[in-house]
Amino acid sequence: MATPGYPAAPHTAVDPTAGTAFRSAVDAVRAVEPRVADAIGAEIQDQRASLKLIASENYASPAVLLAMGNWFSDKYAEGTVGRRFYAGCRNVDTVEALAAEHARELFGAEHAYVQPHSGIDANLVAFWAVLSQRVESPALHRAGVRQVNDLTDEDWAELRRELGNQRLLGMSLDSGGHLTHGFRPNISGKMFDQRSYGTDPATGLVDYDALRATAREFRPLILVAGYSAYPRLVNFRLMREIADEVGATLMVDMAHFAGLVAGKVLTGDFDPVQHAQIVTTTTHKSLRGPRGGMVLCTSELAEHVDRGCPMVLGGPLSHVMAAKAVALAEARRPEFRAYAQQVVDNARALADGLLRRGATLVSGGTDNHLVLIDVSGYGLTGRQAEAALLDSGVVTNRNSVPNDPNGAWYTSGVRIGTPALTTRGLGTAEMDEIADLIDTALRGTAPATTAAGAPSKAQYVLDAQVRDAVAKRAADLLAGFPLYPGLDLA
Ligand SMILES: *Cc1c(COP(=O)(O)O)cnc(C)c1O
Is-catalytic flag, 227? no
Angle between helix axes 464-479 and 34-49 (nearest 10 degrees) is 100
> For position 489, what pLDDT does the model report?
86
> For position 10, what pLDDT does the model report?
76
The CA 308 to ligand 1 mean position distance, Å, reads 17
Q: Structure pTM?
A: 0.96
> For position 490, what pLDDT does the model report?
72
* Of residues 424, 442, 460, 456, the one with CA closest to residue 373: 442
Q: Which residues contact 486 (CB under 8 A, 6 or more apart)?
A: 13, 14, 15, 16, 18, 19
Q: Give the mean model confidence (pLDDT) for residues 102-111.
A: 98
Peptide bond into 116 cis (omega under 30): no
Q: What is the mean pLDDT of the chain?
A: 96
pLDDT of residue 13 exceeding 80: yes
pLDDT digits (tens, 9 = 90+) for 113-136: 999 999 999 999 999 999 999 999
Architecture of domain 89-329: 3-Layer(aba) Sandwich (3.40)
Q: Give the mean model confidence (pLDDT) for residues 250-261.
A: 98
User: Which atom number of ligand 1 is nearest to the Cα of residue 227?
Assistant: 13
The CA 257 to ligand 1 mean position distance, Å, reads 11
pLDDT digits (tens, 9 = 90+) for 420-439: 999 999 999 999 999 999 99
pLDDT digits (tens, 9 = 90+) for 323-374: 999 999 999 999 999 999 999 999 999 999 999 999 999 999 999 999 999 9
Cα–Cα dist 471/477, whole Å: 10
Distances (CA, A) of 295 to 200, 372, 480: 30, 27, 38
The best mutation among 124, 178, 179, 196 to test binding of ligand 1, ranked by most ligand atoms within 8 Å of the C-beta, falls on 178
The residues lining ligand 1, judged by C-beta closer than 6 Å to any ligand atom, are 56, 118-120, 178, 180, 226-228, 253, 255-256, 282, 293
Is-catalytic flag, 105? no
- What is the domain partition of the chain in residue ranges? 89-329, 334-479
pLDDT of residue 1 exceeding 80: no
Counting Cβ atoms within 10 Å, is residue 171 exposed (0-12), middle (13-18) or buried (19+)? Answer: buried
pLDDT of residue 9 exceeding 80: no
Residues at the binding site for (6S)-5,6,7,8-tetrahydrofolate are: 173, 177-179, 300
Torsion, CA 223, CA 229, CA 232, CA 238, rounded to 10? 0
Q: Which residues contact 4 (CB under 8 A, 6 or more apart)?
A: none
DSSP 405-472: TTHHHH-SEEEEE-HHHHHHT--HHHHHHHHHHHHHHHHTEEEEEPTTSSEEEEEEEE-HHHHHHHHH
Task: Please answer whether residues 293 and 121 qualify as being in contact, where contact means their C-beta atoms are separated by less than 8 angstroms.
Answer: yes
Cα–Cα dist 414/371, whole Å: 8
> For position 4, what pLDDT does the model report?
53
> For position 434, what pLDDT does the model report?
98
**Same topology between domain 89-329 and domain 334-479:** no
The CA 246 to ligand 1 mean position distance, Å, reads 27
pLDDT digits (tens, 9 = 90+) for 151-184: 999 999 999 999 999 999 999 998 999 999 999 9
pLDDT of residue 142 exceeding 90: yes
Is-catalytic flag, 282? yes
Cα–Cα dist 73/92, whole Å: 10
For residue 7, name the pLDDT band (cuts at 50, 70, 90): low
The CA 445 to ligand 1 mean position distance, Å, reads 31
Is-catalytic flag, 457? no
* Of residues 364, 354, 467, 374, the one with CA closest to residue 418: 354
Cα–Cα dist 81/93, whole Å: 5
Counting Cβ atoms within 10 Å, is residue 246 exposed (0-12), middle (13-18) or buried (19+)? Answer: middle
Residue 157, classed as helix, strand or coil, is helix
* Of residues 253, 276, 247, 116, the one with CA closest to residue 179: 253
Cα–Cα dist 371/347, whole Å: 7
Q: Give the mean model confidence (pLDDT) for residues 373-399.
A: 97
Instruction: Compute φ and ψ for 448, nearest 5 degrees.
Output: -75, 165
Which listed residue (199, 282, 418, 445) is catalytic? 282
pLDDT of residue 2 exceeding 70: no
Architecture of domain 334-479: Alpha-Beta Complex (3.90)
